[in-house]
């Protein structure tokens, strides 16, 4: 029974909605969720691998290839949001991160970000380095590396 897969750990980052992020409908303007996702992804990275800039200094960066956002309920000014993030797929050069935006246990917005690993010298696609992959496994689903 020693090969039972570990329960994947979900990374949680909290932030408070700023007034400037809300629109005349009195809700967070949709584009700002992509900003929130970027913040959560950066913090997941810090916990898993280290500060983003340390990776860039080693010649590796990542760019967003696709983003998907489903809006279920609006967040409002001054709300404290919990962004729950985990790595759903960890491929050779790309990875898929799922981020749920929760408020008091209610799912408001569900996001998916596909990142591709690139070399800063050429901006060309490159395999995710081992030291990055090792760190990310902490927040990866058990089948993240076999999924297609």
Tokens encoding 93: 């050069």
Q: 51 vs 45, 46, 58, 66, 86, CA distance in Å?
A: 7, 5, 12, 23, 17
Output 73 or 147, the one with its CB closest to its own copies: 73
Q: Pick one of 71, 94, 98, 103: the residue that binds its own copies (CB under 8 A).
A: 71
Residue 38 beta carbon to its own copies: minimum distance, rounded to whole angstroms: 6
x-marked contacts with its own copies along 27-66 as a string, rule CB under 8 A: --xxxxxxx--xx--x--------xxx-------x-xxxx
Which residues of the chain form contacts with its own copies (CB under 8 A)? 18-20, 22-26, 29-35, 38-39, 42, 51-53, 61, 63-71, 74, 77-78
């Amino acid at each position: 029974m020693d090969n039972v897969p570990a329960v994947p750990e979900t990374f949680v980052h909290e932030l408070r909605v700023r007034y400037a992020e809300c629109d005349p409908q009195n809700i967070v303007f949709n584009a700002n969720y992509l900003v929130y996702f970027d913040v959560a992804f950066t913090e997941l990275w810090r916990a898993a691998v280290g500060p983003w800039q340390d990776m860039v200094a080693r010649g590796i960066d990542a760019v967003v290839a696709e983003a998907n956002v489903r809006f279920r309920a609006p967040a409002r000014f001054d709300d404290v949001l919990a962004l729950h993030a985990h790595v759903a797929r960890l491929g050779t050069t790309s990875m898929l991160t799922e981020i749920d935006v929760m408020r008091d246990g209610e799912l408001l917005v569900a996001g998916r970000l596909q990142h591709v690993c690139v070399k800063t010298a050429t901006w060309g696609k490159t395999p995710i380095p081992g030291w990055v992959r090792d760190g990310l496994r902490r927040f990866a689903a058990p089948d993240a590396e076999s999924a297609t």
